Chain A
């Protein structure tokens, strides 16, 4: 079951095409990474899902049905450029935002109390937003995003502006939300968070979808069948068999290199070949990082 199905969505602004026939499925209950270089079209897609703008063609299904006004209360959105009313008090403002998302005043109060205790911010209720530091404000804004317990939470660069402690807090919250059954879409450039958190990803580049699917499978797709070795000694290489990358000198006389295995040669074979020549300290497969995948995917797209 997909919480969101983007079907052939195209969106154009003035002279610029932001999304070009993009189709993506986002399964329920996963943490979904929406990646892409700046200006790729991610924010446009997010805005369409939030019903802030509409597609020029194509449609989006939410939980099987075309997007409509009733879905607004089931979606939470934290934009990249964060902001709150500066002169309003924290408590008052959170109540207002929650009510706009469909909660009654009482429901909102109850839920807010829980969050205020959880984040340990009880003293902030009557403070004016402008009295808080930027990090504190973002915490408040995060609460406003998830307060109404939405089925789908969209976070645009959620970790930017948070110090490591608060970033961890957010990270834990995201995992907890997933556990409770919500789906989380987050758009980010920080690949380490994608590595750590995402189950599925999609990469958009120059208005087109370039990658899409479970992270694991995509990594498989980008595997280069390369292995890294850290060893001491001299390795005599059979050129026809193995491709050796330039050596990297490490401490204590150890070296590191990557070896590409041609088809048909197993890692065991490589190990067997090396064991008699050198002292091996470390050996493993190079699984491409999301960062690598990102760069390769983006560079491989031909100029439109």
Chain B
């Protein structure tokens, strides 16, 4: 199986990586439990920054598509096939759309929603501040 990254596309490179790996798992091109190339190997092969590949792997670990087994490397998660269908971005977008609709219905302006959203996010990230 091969990965193809297009640097002229508007889609971020790490998203292209995530999508292709998810598609490969969904189609069965990679088997559950298969080993993945190391971040360094993949980054050098695709001539990318190591952080870009590491970011893609981190997202995939969070979504339980892949799992890290320490020094042994990174592997396809045993539940990867089921987890591939779960799109966190879609969940976030749906929830936000509903919330924004509710807020607009109460009369809040877009500017007020934006400021409130930024403040809540800021407070959540720095609870003591």
Same complex: no
